[in-house]
Amino acid sequence: MRKSPVTIRVDRAFGPVVEGEAVVSDEGFSPRYDLDRWSGVITKPGHQLEGVNIRDKILFFPTAKGGIAAGWAFYDIKSKGIAPKALIFGVTNPVMVQGAVFANLTITEGWSRDPRKCIRTGDIVRVDPGVKTIRLLERA
Amino acid sequence: MRLTAEERGMLRGARGDTVRRALELQLEVGKFYGARRFVPVTNVHMMGDIEVMGDGGLDHLRRLAQEKARCEIPITTNARCFDFAHAQRLGQDAVEAAKERELIGCLRRMNVMTTDTCINYQTLYQPRLGERLAWGDTGTVIWANSVCGARTNFESGPAAMAAAMTGRVPEYGYHLDRHRRGTFVVEVAAALDDYAEWGALAKRVGESHQSYYAVPVFTGIKRAPTADQLKHLGASLASYGSMAMFHMVGVTPEAPTLAAALGGSRPKEKMRITRADIDRVFAGYRNLDGSCNFVVFSGPQQSLLEMKLLSELFDGRRIHAGTTVFVTTANGVLAAARALGYAQTLEAAGVTILEGVCVYILQNLTRMRAANGWTNMISNSAKIVNTITAHKFNTILRRTRDCVDIACTGVFR
């Protein structure tokens, strides 16, 4: 594994340290409007990630969309074994945070550099909420 | 966070394990946001139904009920995914219906008022200026913050239940003055009338400013909106923009003037919405296959005034053969609509009135869509036009009268 200097600092963070494959989106996300919560596949027609399975992924979204439902949705998809490893938001809303805390799922908000410019889908990254950093481990 | 002696006791288990876990959840959320303290709340509104919770959530509720968890603060429930009187006819799953009944039983044992409405602010509780709440369903939150001047964040189901058990929430977001200031100005240069036009305005503003912390300040309002118009505006802003608050100068309580709404800060941006912008929203929808056999008045549930308007528009007419029309409302509203004859008029026209639900969260909706050959969903609610797309509907926003005409003629316009 090649060490990389790409590190993103985040403003707020919760959850365990995780490593996994990044999925980077330009579009916001709602587990209610965009996601099929039985398969873990993003099904909203026209969503930039339509057809992508979020299971075990580290998801980068600039924003959160809508919905109170996320509060239950993350716990539900985690109990179904189809949850992502982490949710990395530019700007999120409290429902996502409450839902992630309830499901003990890693979540962060705010970034020192735009991941869309330095992380690519398929890269392997490490999220460490304790020190509020995301590090690129391996290029796809 | 700075904790009181009572809160420290709760974390040690002085009020039992359930309350300890509830406060721990809230503490983590508070720490995430850098909250300095908890603040007491007087009313809680939660979303909890089997479609949104899933089996994992139901297991959680079963455990809580078994532990004899009890909500101490008045707590009501949002619209759910079953109207049991219609479940079979709609082809909903009997196993899931049984789970929904069990879930309702669990909530009642925990002292939750299962009111099943997303318009609690019109039917159940009207908070005062500055009152602190823990409300869930984004439409209720944006109403409370904007129209009442009360203070609440989006509180999801588990977080709202935690608040009802502990009697408090961490103080961050819309509990703080600094987040309640307007962040950008929207000059409304068109006189808006129909609910769908207010929703279209919200779509324009919300889609282009997706952020929980974006607070639009509407100015130049020519005709002050009614409660139901504000409802459609707010619900759609929350849906398209994830927004929790707006100001409207001269209309909402924290916006007597533009300067007051901005709270001394400079707006980041000023946008102007014209009649042409609103018309462009309506022109932007495409009918995929020419069909128009599914028309919906829901999301949020209909108030009594909306029920009255619909009954007038459907009076003496019949919906087109092969078309389905759903109207959803709260049980109290439906009782009044029946007493006043509005419900009978709608049913005589062939409309299906569903109680205590919202269409976009109906259990089994994706299969219901396929089984009924519904390609397009036509509605006067910009919110549901957005939210229901997860079920692979093509959606079309139309004004209320146009929706009724489409439903009765089978001709799309």
Q: Closest approach of chain A CAs to the CA of B348, in angstroms?
A: 34
Same domain, B78 and B132: yes
Tell me how far CA of residue B376 lies from CA of A33, B181, B290, B298, in angstroms.
17, 39, 9, 15
Partner residues linked to B402 by β-bridges: none
Q: How far apart are CA B148 and CA B128, in angstroms?
A: 6
Q: Residue A3 has what pLDDT? A: 53
Do residues B312 and B214 share a domain? no
DSSP assignment letter at B224 = P
Determine the Cα–Cα distance for residues B147 and B171; give it in Å rounded to an integer: 20
Identify the contact set of chain B against chain A, taking CB-CB distances under 8 A. Answer: 25, 28-29, 31-34, 47-48, 52-57, 59-60, 78, 136-138, 153-159, 172-173, 210-213, 238-240, 242, 244, 386-387, 389-390, 392
| Chain B residues inside the 8 Å CB shell of A12 | 32-34
State the Cα torsion B331-B333-B338-B340 to the nearest 10°. 160
How many Å lie between the alpha carbon of B302 and the closest alpha carbon of chain A? 20
Judge: A66–B154 Cβ closer than 8 Å, yes or no. no
Compare all CA atoms of chain B with the CA of A76 and give the residue at the minimum distance. Answer: B56
Q: Is the dihedral of CA A115, A118, A123, A129 positive or negative?
A: negative
Give me the interface pTM, i.e. the ipTM: 0.94
- Identify the CA nearest to B124 among candidates B340, B394, B379, B333: B333
Angstrom distance (rounded) from CA A65 to CA A34: 9
Weakly modelled stretches of chain B, pLDDT under 70: none
Single-letter residue type at B21: R
Q: Which domain holds residue B246?
A: 178-282
Inter-chain touch B137–A68, beta carbons under 8 Å: yes
* Chain B nearest-CA residue for A27: B210
Q: Looking at residue B149, what DSSP letter applies?
A: -
Q: Are residues B155 and B222 located together in one domain of the fold?
A: no
Q: Exposed, middle or buried by CB within 10 Å (0-12, 13-18, 19+), for B178? A: exposed
Residues of B in contact with A76 (CB under 8 A): 53-57
A87: β partners: A59, A107
CA gap B335, B361 in Å, rounded: 23
Rounded Cα distance, B402 and B412, in Å: 9
| pLDDT for the residue A4 | 54
Per CATH, which fold does A7-138 belong to? Glucose Oxidase; domain 1 (3.50.30)
Can you give the pTM of this predicted structure?
Answer: 0.95
Tell me whether residues B157 and A44 touch, CB distance under 8 A.
no
Q: How many independent structural domains does chain B possess?
A: 3
Q: Which of B138, B169, B200 is the last residue of a domain?
A: B169
Q: Under an 8 A CB cutoff, do A32 and B210 touch? A: no
Relative to beta strand B376-379, strand B294-302 is: parallel
Distance (Å, rounded) from C-alpha B143 to C-alpha B146? 5
| Min distance A120 CA to chain B CA atoms (Å) | 23
Which one of B26, B242, B377 would you mutate to disrupt binding with A, by most A Cβ within 10 Å of its Cβ? B242
Tokens 């089997």 label which residue? B50
Tokens of B85: 């009187």
Residue B52, both tokens: 């949104």
- What the block records as the tokens of A6 is 């790409």
CB contact under 8 A, B156 and A98: yes
Q: How far is CA B118 from CA B41, B80, B298, in A?
A: 19, 9, 10
Q: Which residues from B are below 8 Å from A109, CB to CB?
A: 32
Q: What angle do CA A31, B388, B209 make, to 5 degrees?
A: 65
3-class DSSP state for residue B395? Answer: strand
A60, β-bridge pairs: A24, A88
Q: Are both B80 and B188 inside the same structural domain?
A: no
Tokens 């705010």 belong to residue: A110
| Strands, E assignment, A64-105 | 86-91
* Identity of the amino acid at B90: L
Q: Which residue of B has its CA nearest to A91?
A: B211
Q: CATH code at B356?
A: 3.30.499.10
Same domain, B252 and B218: yes
CB contact under 8 A, B52 and A73: yes
Q: What is the phi/psi pair of residue B47, to 5°?
A: -100, 125
Residues of chain A with pLDDT under 50: none
Based on the domain organization, do B78 and B227 belong to the same domain?
A: no
Contact yes or no for A79 and B56 at CB 8 A: yes
DSSP B80-129: BS--TTTTTTTT--HHHHHHHHHHHHHHHHTT-B----S-HHHHT--PPT
Q: Cβ contacts (< 8 Å) between A35 and chain B: which residues?
A: 390
Identify the domain boundary among B251, B282, B313.
B282
pLDDT for A2: 53
State whether B156 and A92 contact (CB < 8 Å).
no
Q: What is the pLDDT of residue B210?
A: 86
| B45-65 burial code (b ≥16 CB/10 A, e <16) | bbbbbbbbbbebbbebbeebb
- Which residue, of B114, B136, B169, is where some domain finishes? B169
**What is each CA distance from B200 to B196, B273, B276, B283, B404, in whole angstroms?**
6, 10, 12, 11, 18
B276 & B292 share domain: no
- Same domain for B22 and B145, yes or no, is yes
B260 and B405 housed in the same domain: no
Tell me if A98 and B159 make a contact (CB, 8 A cut-off): yes
